[in-house]
RNA sequence: GCCCUCAUAGCUCAACGGAUAGAGUACCGGUCUUCGGAACCGAGGAUGGGGGUUCGAUUCCCUCUGAGGGCACCA
């Protein structure tokens, strides 16, 4: 429907001789502004020397010439907005048809979490974890062919694995926590060198993390990519290095080999081979991303923590050097999302989490205390790029009043009504057109049909947190509908009201499911 | 010093350059004749300071202040 409105507006613009670029059709937050609204006249009026309201008037006049049985009313409002009100039959058929999406089949790879196999996930990982998981679900629903990928930093040649090995063999203290110690005690490291011990311990840590991610967080991955087994062992890093050298993108200085990243837009050149002859992680990162493109993905997305934001530029610079494809919007790849830092607040003082200071809050503890639904909501209802201060006392207080319960409650209530109607007789015909004369019934219907627009928009702007706003608004409409319309009355029920209630229930459940949150029938 | 994020109601957060800046929570007042009151209705309360671009700026640009992050031959 949104596309139809867009086409109608475009046609009208052309008919009256106004050349225009993009046309924006939005779903107004205020239902008195119609089911759809456009600011086209405001945007293009001035450019053509016409007042916005005048242009809007002309457009409406033109649109009304080709009357559509889907549009009941068009009006010019405010400074020159054009508001569209759908006919009952258009609204009803949109409800019955349900959401549908164009299966573009674009192959998207999204890598998220990718925590190092040196310890457990803490709350800092929560944001990128749930953002990545929900974004994957949205993109898949919107018709993309999505591969979720987890990169395991387990290369035996890396410093962290060597340090982990030292700790395993009792020669170091790095990464040591009670949990890690427990694992160390269970493994027989005798006869192993540091590297092998590190790889072994990392495998054990990774196994636990994977179990927690899948079972505890409800996030699933299609590919668990082992740096050690797949990248290092295949010699991809050496191949990449050779390629960079042969393309004359490197030079030697101070005994090290440097990549000429500054010539391609980075702030400075980067070392790829240290003076001791070993390769930096940057090489394997480039090789890994090259590998993703080689596997045929058109879009490669990374979700990183704030401490990695300095890497964005150099990765995209590498992409330009190697000719990685641009996105459809002509942006550099990989597409990187940065989850802002989570700070801790204790006794009114904010601080960064630090393992040494012992003030680390594990994601596992949060899930145990509050349940996965509350935790997922907590991390998903705000934009990724705002800093988040985590206050355990506040979290406890908010968990009891979490808006997630509001949406779940509305769902359970509708489920209960639908259940009740099963034992009742169908009442007198009360058609849809009649039903939506009641304002709250009409806005609920309209809000339900907004679902595909929300999904499509997120697949373009990646504002995953708007799902939480949508489901809350939907629940509010559902509650208003409940207040105003009786579905079951005595021993009969109102069929059209029940149909609307069921669509509302389904849409609530579907939205919650994108967020990875349950939609209970009763609570 | 250089680079990146962020600053909105008491608190936690929204708002593709557009309509009266929205929610939740807290506080105050109302609705129990309950298809589920974990609900509904109402009131008060906000864009850090200063410039600029624009018909129009929370949004874009500059600057100041404040918070956080990054500036390794660590990952």
- Asked if strand B contacts A89 at the CB level, meaning under 7 A, the answer is no
Q: Does A435 reside within a domain?
A: yes
Name the nearest CA neighbour of A462 among A118, A144, A3, A23. A144
> Which nucleotide lies at the shortest CA–C1' distance from A485?
B35
Question: Which pLDDT value is given to residue A330?
Answer: 84
- Dihedral through CA A300, CA A306, CA A311, CA A315, nearest 10? 10
Nearest nucleotide to A343, CA against C1' atoms: B68
Distances in whole angstroms, Cα of residue A2 to Cα of each of A57, A71, A94, A402, A457: 21, 12, 11, 33, 12
Q: Is the pLDDT of residue A356 over 60?
A: no
Q: What is the DSSP letter of A79?
A: T
Report pLDDT for A396: 87
* Percent of chain A topping pLDDT 90: 75
Place of tokens 């601080």: A351
Residues A390 and A428 in one domain: no
pLDDT at A346: 66
Give the CATH number, domain containing residue A34: 3.30.1360.70
For range A13-33, the mean pLDDT: 87
The answer to whether some atom of strand B lies closer than 7 Å to the beta carbon of A371 is no
The runs of H, that is alpha helices, within A77-225 are: 88-97, 123-141, 159-168, 178-186, 194-211
Q: Rounded CA gap, A46 and A49, in Å? A: 5
Domain boundary among A86, A117, A134: A86
The residues facing A304 across adjacent strands are: A338
Query: Residue A302: what pLDDT?
Result: 95
Q: Are both A211 and A344 inside the same structural domain?
A: yes
Least confident stretch, A149-163, A222-236, A342-356, A401-415: A342-356
Render pLDDT for A382-426 as a digit per residue (tens, 0 to 9): 999 888 877 888 888 888 889 999 999 999 999 999 999 998 988
On whether both A440 and A390 belong to a single domain, the answer is: no
In a domain, A451, yes or no: yes
Q: What is the pLDDT of residue A294?
A: 96
Is there a single domain that holds both residue A391 and residue A409? Answer: no
pLDDT given at position A358 = 60
Q: Judge if the beta carbon of A143 is closer than 7 A to nucleic acid strand B.
A: no
Nucleotide nearest to A418 (CA to C1'): B35
Task: Give the Cβ contact number of residue A339 at 10 Å.
Answer: 26
| Separation of alpha carbons A355 and A44, rounded Å | 56
Output the pLDDT for position A351.
Answer: 67
If asked whether residues A397 and A407 sit together in one domain, one would say: no
Tell me which residue of A75, A5, A69, A41 sits closest to A453, measured CA to CA.
A5
Q: Is the CB of A454 under 7 A from strand B?
A: no
pLDDT at A447 over 60: yes
Q: Is the pLDDT of residue A451 over 70?
A: yes
Q: Are residues A355 and A212 in the same domain?
A: yes
Whether A455 and A368 share a structural domain: no
Residues of A 210-269 whose CB lies less than 7 Å from any atom of strand B: 253-256, 267
A499 with A394, same domain: the answer is: no
Is residue A226 within 8 Å of residue A161, measured between CB atoms? no
Asked whether residue A255 is assigned to any structural domain, the reply reads no
Dihedral sign from CA coordinates of A163, A165, A170, A175: positive
Q: Is residue A509 part of a domain?
A: yes
pLDDT of residue A357: 56
Of all nucleotides, the one whose C1′ comes closest to residue A153's CA is B75
Tell me, yes or no, whether A372 and A419 share the same domain: no
Is A355's pLDDT higher than 80? no
**Whether the predicted pLDDT of A350 surpasses 70:** no
DSSP three-state, residue A74: strand
Q: What is the pLDDT of residues A197-228, one digit of tens each?
A: 999 999 999 999 999 999 999 999 999 999 99
CA A307 to C1' B69, in angstroms, rounded, equals 6
**A140 occurs within a structural domain:** yes
Question: What is the average per-residue pLDDT within A220-244?
Answer: 95
> How many angstroms is C1' of B41 away from CA of A84?
29
The whole-number pLDDT of residue A347 equals 60
pLDDT for A159:
87
Q: A248 pLDDT exceeds 80?
A: yes
How many domains does the structure of chain A reveal?
3
Q: What phi-psi label fits residue A388: left (phi over 0), alpha (psi between -120 and 50 degrees) or beta?
A: beta
Helix (H) or strand (E) holding A43: helix A40-45
In this complex, the answer to whether residue A500 has its CB under 7 A from any atom of chain B, a nucleic strand, is no
Tokens describing residue A323: 């000719």
Residue A230 lies in a domain: no
3-state DSSP helix/strand/coil % of chain A, to nearest 5: 50, 15, 35
- Averaged pLDDT for residues A40-52: 86
Q: How many whole angstroms separate alpha carbon A324 and alpha carbon A8?
A: 38
DSSP strands (E only) in A243-316: 250-253, 256-259, 270-273, 299-305
Residue-number span of the structural domain to which A49 is assigned: 2-86
Indicate yes or no: strand B within 7 A of the C-beta of A307: yes
State yes or no: pLDDT of A258 exceeds 90: yes
Nearest CA to A391 out of A356, A353, A364 is that of A353
pLDDT at A144 (0 to 100) = 96
CATH of the domain at A456: 1.10.730.10
Residue A68 lies in a domain: yes
Query: Do residue A467 and residue A359 come from a single domain?
Result: no
Cβ of residue A422 lies below 7 Å from strand B: no
A321 CA – B45 C1', rounded, Å? 54
Is it the case that residue A158 has pLDDT exceeding 70?
yes
**pLDDT score recorded for residue A57:** 93
Q: What's the whole-number mean pLDDT along residues A257-280?
A: 93
Mean pLDDT of A170-178: 90
User: Does strand B come within 7 Å of the CB of A407?
Assistant: no
Q: Say which nucleotide is closest to residue A494, CA to C1' distance.
A: B35
Summarize the confidence of residues A498-511 as an average pLDDT: 96
- Is the minimum distance from the CB of A381 to strand B below 7 Å? yes
Q: Specify whether A384 is located in the same domain as A457.
A: no
| pLDDT for residue A348 | 58
pLDDT in tens, A57-88: 999 999 998 878 899 999 999 889 999 999 99
Q: What is the CATH number of the domain that holds A385?
A: 3.40.50.620
Tokens of A13: 């613009």
If you measure CA to C1', which residue is closest to nucleotide B34?
A483
Q: What is the DSSP code string of A450-516?
A: THHHHHHHHHHH--TTHHHHHHHHHHHHHHHHHHH--SEETTEE-HHHHHHHHHHHHHHHHHHHHTT
Q: Which strand B nucleotides have any atom less than 7 A from protein CB atoms?
A: 2-7, 11-16, 18-20, 22-26, 35-41, 55-56, 67-75
Last residue of one domain, picked from the residues A379, A401, A423: A401
Is A158 within 7 A of strand B by CB distance? yes
- The domain boundary, picked from A401, A417, A440, lies at A401
Q: Are residues A373 and A480 in the same domain?
A: no
Strands A342-346 and A335-339: unpaired
- In the DSSP assignment, the letter for residue A278 is P
Within a domain: A214: yes
Q: Strand A492-493: give its sheet, edge to edge.
A: A425-426, A492-493, A488-489
Distance CA A200, CA A164 (A): 9
Mean pLDDT of A9-20: 88
């Amino acid at each position: 429907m949104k596309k139809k409105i867009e086409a109608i507006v475009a046609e009208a613009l052309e008919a009256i001789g106004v050349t225009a670029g993009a046309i924006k059709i939005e779903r107004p937050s205020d239902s008195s502004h119609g089911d759809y609204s456009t600011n086209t006249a405001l945007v293009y009026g001035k450019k053509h020397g016409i007042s916005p309201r005048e242009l809007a008037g002309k457009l409406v006049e033109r649109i009304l010439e080709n009357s559509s049985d889907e549009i009941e009313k068009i009006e010019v409002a405010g400074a020159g907005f054009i508001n569209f009100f759908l006919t009952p039959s258009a609204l009803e058929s949109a409800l019955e048809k349900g959401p549908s999406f164009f299966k573009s089949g674009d192959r998207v790879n999204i890598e998220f979490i990718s925590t190092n196999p040196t310890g457990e996930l803490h709350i800092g990982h929560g944001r990128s974890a749930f953002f990545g998981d929900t974004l994957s679900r949205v993109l898949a629903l919107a018709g993309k062919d999505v591969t979720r990928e987890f990169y395991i930093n387990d290369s035996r040649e890396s410093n962290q694995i060597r340090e982990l090995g030292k700790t395993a063999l009792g020669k170091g203290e790095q990464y040591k926590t009670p949990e890690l110690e427990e694992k160390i005690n269970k493994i027989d490291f005798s006869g192993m060198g540091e590297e092998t011990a590190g790889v072994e311990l990392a495998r054990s840590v990774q196994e636990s993390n994977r179990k927690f991610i899948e079972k505890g967080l409800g996030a699933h991955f299609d590919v668990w990519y082992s740096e050690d087994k797949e990248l290092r062992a295949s010699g991809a890093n050496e191949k990449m290095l050779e390629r960079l050298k042969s393309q004359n993108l490197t030079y030697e200085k101070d005994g090290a080999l440097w990549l000429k990243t500054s010539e391609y837009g980075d702030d400075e050149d980067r070392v790829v081979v240290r003076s001791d002859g070993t390769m930096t992680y940057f090489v394997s990162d480039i090789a890994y991303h090259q590998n993703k493109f080689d596997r045929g993905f058109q879009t490669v997305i990374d979700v990183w923590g704030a401490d990695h934001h300095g890497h964005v530029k150099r990765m995209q610079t590498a992409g330009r050097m190697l000719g990685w494809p641009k996105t459809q919007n002509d942006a550099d790849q990989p597409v990187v999302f940065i989850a802002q830092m989570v700070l801790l607040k204790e006794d009114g003082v904010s601080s960064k989490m630090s393992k040494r200071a012992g003030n680390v809050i594990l994601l596992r503890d949060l899930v145990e205390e509050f349940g996965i639904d509350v935790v997922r909501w907590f991390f998903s209802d705000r934009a990724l790029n705002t800093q988040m201060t985590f206050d355990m006392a506040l979290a406890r207080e908010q968990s009891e009043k979490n808006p997630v319960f509001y949406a779940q409650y509305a769902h359970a209530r509708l489920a209960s009504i639908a259940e009740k109607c099963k034992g009742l007789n169908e009442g007198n015909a009360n058609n849809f057109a009649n039903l939506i004369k009641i304002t709250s019934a009409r806005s609920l219907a309209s809000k339900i049909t907004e679902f595909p627009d929300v999904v499509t928009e997120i697949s373009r702007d990646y504002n995953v947190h708007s799902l939480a706003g949508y489901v809350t608004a939907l629940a509010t409409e559902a509650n208003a509908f409940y207040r105003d319309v009786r579905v079951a009355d005595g021993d009969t029920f109102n069929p059209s009201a029940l149909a609307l209630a069921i669509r509302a229930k389904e849409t609530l459940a579907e939205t919650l499911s994108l967020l990875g949150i349950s939609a209970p029938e009763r609570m």
